[in-house]
Amino acid sequence: MRFMRIGPAGAEIPVVRTSDGGYFDLRPITADIDGAFLGGDAVDRVRSAVAAQTLPPIDPTGERVGPPIAKPGVVLCIGLNYAAHAAESGAAPPEWPVMLYKAPNTVVGPYDDILLPPRSAKTDWEVELAVVMGRRARYLGSPEDANACIAGYTIANDVSERALQLEISSGQWSKGKSCETFNPLGPWLVTPDELLDPQVLGLRSWVNGKPRQNSTTKDMIFDVATLIYELSQVTVLDPGDVINTGTPEGVALSGRFPYLRDGDVIELEIDGLGRQRQQVRSA
């Protein structure tokens, strides 16, 4: 099952796409795709409504696609979680997951513009597998317990301003992560039954049509279940929360590519989750 939200920013309509390619308006059962909906047996409720034919069909053609989750409580980012990316960053693989927060209001749609901060000099792209929580995770007993807490998966562009993150951060990486528009998300929230193994997914990105990242989630240092387990030991994860699970090698921080400039176009994709496209422009 695939959830999406369409319409103007702040007034999106919740939609489900069924396995036969039909699109249906979810408003008869929920006002939005948010933590309350995802934490309340969302998939079973939607399946029952589809089977009973109580959801009106909807045509998304020509509509803006918003982020597939409304107002996440937190956006947690995992740093240096791909072995090759840690190497290109000049860092040793971490012994424990590197956790940092990103402002939730950075979340925008998968095709919305990315706005460069006025003094941006080193804004970077990062294609990432994002996990959306569907059940509270608090002091989980093992990584195996994590799977039952996942509502679905989507694509995140964890945009980062490296000068703010690393040079004038005073050790606070979040300073380079939390500028407006710095977390395009979507287009779909894909439920786990459609994506049985999150550790075998290809991730790719392009800037102005030129390849940048091309890797697989097999290169993760900490897999998805381990991340959720470890995070649950130090914070409570609630339904609707988003975890950006790290980016593979091929970013501008490596020194191999220029940083983003006004007018650049970024494209990202992950197997089974769709594709994003953003244009970069000055704020």
For 48-60, write each residue's pLDDT tens digit. Answer: 999 999 999 999 9
The low-confidence residues of the chain, meaning pLDDT below 70, are 169
pTM, full prediction: 0.95
pLDDT on residue 135: 97
Q: What is the pLDDT, as a whole number, of residue 169?
A: 67
Neighbouring-strand partners of residue 23: 17
pLDDT tens per residue, range 213-254 = 999 999 999 999 999 999 999 999 999 999 999 999 999 999
Q: Which two tokens stand for residue 168?
A: 């004038």
Domains and CATH numbers, the chain: 2-65 (no CATH), 69-282 (3.90.850.10)
Cα separation, 158 vs 178, whole angstroms: 10
Query: Residue 209: is it exposed, middle or buried by C-beta count within 10 angstroms (0-12/13-18/19+)?
Result: exposed
